[in-house]
Each structure stands twice: as structure tokens, then as C-alpha cells.
Amino acid sequence: MDSPITMSITSGAAFLLGFLLLSHLRKVNVPANSYLGYFVITLGLAMIEIPLFYRNFHLEYPNLFEMIGLSRFLTAPFLYISILHFTSLHKKFEKKILWHFFPFIIFLFFRLPFFITGKNIEFSYETGRIVFFVLGMALPLQALLYWIVSFLKLQKYLNNLQQISSSIEKNNLIWLKYFLLILMLIILVWFNLIFFNLEYLIQFTPFLYLLSIFFLAYFSLKQREIFDFTKSELNELSSIQIYKKDSPKRVSVKRLNELDEKLRILTESEKVYLENDLSLPKLAKRLVASCNEASFVINELYQDNFYNFINKYRIEEAKRLLLSDKYNQLNVLGIAFESGFNSKTTFNTTFKKCTGQSPTEFVKSNSLPIKKEE
């Protein structure tokens, strides 16, 4: 693969983004962004190998060039650990994540003779074939496996998010999901360089690398704090058990009925669902209950998660507003906000899911004049 100039620009952009993420200018998602910064820097190191090679850097500084190559074994672990922090309520460092750097340490020891003597370890023909096969497959296999577990971890987070938040558009990490999909495209293009060598794909590879860095830069620098909860709320949320119908009951029948009565008052009389920033901890506080209890009541009695439970009430409120005089005073976005939603997109999607119609179609089907959206 040529294009050393494009790869130089790409690596420079990666280094800049990595240092910006490590500097924590916005003070959001600090642990996650630290590891994301390391991930981007190792990407930059991998990309700078090509322009360095064209400058004969590998001949002048062979040990340093070799270390740059070995840093590739840090890229996938840094990405995965970053996603662990983006999707976890816990912010503490855990020693077990050090195991993810074990492949890097193994290959570092394997290359020690080269660093000391400048010579590679000599093998017999058959042994050499096996060793070089392992060396050739280790990095691609690591990249693919870590991408899979990273994607699954993110998907699990998106599924669990509806248990604790009634408005998930602010912290749904959809940008990270798109970035992982772009990374998969890059991995496939990289596999082409290693295994297939299809020329028409090779020529686009440097530009795909460059676009991926710009994409990550745009979204990572505008991200918000994902878990905007107090420390005590985070501790409570992290203790919530996954609901299963056949699992032991976490709340007694007496307590369950008591909480259900309070919940009905909050939803039907006080209309707590109209609060745009309503979360499970806030609802639990109003119930004078733990997050675990509040979650269990909704799961057990209503067979639903927190997100759907609250938004069903919001849709009913929206339907009422759409069929009232309020509809002549507000556009669809105004109706959405009045009903407790934070965005028009989420409102339209949820409304269509619950009623099978868009808000304007709902108004039309009830024989009311349709007001143009502003």
C-alpha cells in the first residue's frame, strides 16, 4: 500500500485526537476517553509505519521501528477497555484488565533477542513455518475477536439502558456503534492487504483510514457525560439484578403492593412522566425505594422495562394533547416536549411504535384539521 503522504496526515490526525482525548478538556467520561485516547494513538503508530518505512526509518532505528510494530498488539485491548468504561456504571480501575495486555508482553519477550543483539531467533524450516504462521495470524485474530466482544458489549449496554432511563437519546452511544461498524470495514480492508491483495480495494485503504479518524474526532469531541448520576445512585444502579420470570422474588408481596400503589399515584395523579429528565434513581427516590425495588416493580407487575413503561404514559398524554385545543397552539415538537419527550425524533418513533401511526396521521384519523409542523 502506497500513499505515504495520506498515511502521514492520518497518523498526525490520530496523534492529535489521542492527545486531546487524554487531556480531558471537557471533563466527561474521563476513564473511557483515556483508553480511547491510547487506542487512537496506537492507531496512529500503526499508520505512521508506512511513511517511516519510505524514509528508511527501519534501517536507522530498527529497535524503535520494531516497538512501533509491537504496539499494534495494544490497539484492540485499548478499544475494548474503553468500551468497557463507556458502558459500565463502575469507574474504578480493575487489575483483571491487565490480562488483555498479555499478548503484547508475550511478543515483546519473543522479540527481546532482536532488541539486544539485532538478530532474529533462528528456527528450523518446519518450526519457522509454524512460528511465522502464528505471528501472521495473531494480530488479525486478536483484532477480529476484540471487535466482536466490543460490539456485543455495546449492544448489551444499549439493551440495558432502557432499564434506567426514560430518555436514551443523550446516552445511547450510537456514535460509538457507528464507529465500530466503520472499524469493521477497516478491518476487512486490512484483511485484504494481508490475505487477498485485491488491488482495487488497496487504493482506497489510506482514505478510509483518514475518514475513520475524522469520524471518531467529530463524535468523540462532542460527547456528553453518559452516566450523569451521583456516586450513590451509580452504586445503586450497578446493583440492579437482571429480571427473569423464574428468578427468586427480590421484593415481598406486601412491599410490592405498597410500591405499586405509590407508583400509580405518581403516574396517574402527579404525572411524574412529564419530567423530561426522569430516570430510575429519580423515580425510586419519589417512591422512597431502592432502584432495585423500583425496577422490579415495573418488571414484575407491568412486564416492561422502565423506558417503555414511562414512554407509554407520555404517548397517552401526547394523544390527549393532539386531540385538544393545545394542538392549535403547539407544533409537533411542542407536543413532544409537553408530553415529557426530549426530542422530536424519539417522540415520532415511539408514537409510531405504540399507535402504528405518526402524530399527524393520528390527528387526521380522528377527523381533526392537520396543523403544519414548524
Of the chain, the end-to-end C-alpha distance in Å amounts to 51
Helix 72-87 with 102-110: angle, nearest 10 deg: 170
Angle at 171 between CA 187 and CA 361, to 5 degrees: 105
Instruction: Please give the torsion angle defined by the CA atoms of residues 260, 265, 267 and 270, in that order, rounded to the nearest 10 degrees.
Output: -160
Window from 5-14, 41-50, 128-137, 299-308 with minimum mean pLDDT: 128-137
Q: What are phi and psi of 242, to 5 degrees?
A: -65, 130
pTM over the 0.85 mark? no
- For the chain, domains (ranges, CATH) are 4-220 (1.20.1070), 229-303 (no CATH), 315-374 (1.10.10.60)
Residue 283 has pLDDT above 70, yes or no: yes
Is the pLDDT at 31 greater than 70? The verdict is yes
At residue 209, the pLDDT reads 81
Q: What is the pLDDT of residues 334-348, one digit of tens each?
A: 888 888 888 888 888
Q: Name the band, by pLDDT with cuts 50, 70 and 90, for residue 15.
A: very high
pLDDT tens-digit profile of 313-363?
999 998 888 887 766 677 888 888 888 888 888 888 888 888 888 888 888
pLDDT confidence of 2, banded at 50, 70, 90? Answer: low
pLDDT in tens, 287-301: 988 888 888 889 888
**Residue 120 cell numbers, joined:** 532474529
Q: What is the mean pLDDT of residues 68-74?
A: 92
pLDDT over 70, % of the chain: 87
pLDDT tens per residue, range 211-238: 888 888 887 777 776 766 666 666 677 6
**Tens of pLDDT along 183-221?**
888 888 888 777 777 777 777 778 888 888 888 888 777
Distances (CA, A) of 195 to 71, 92, 335: 21, 40, 55
Query: What average pLDDT is seen over the chain?
Result: 82
Closest C-alpha among 161, 163, 169, 356 to residue 276: 169
**Which cell is 240 given?**
440492579
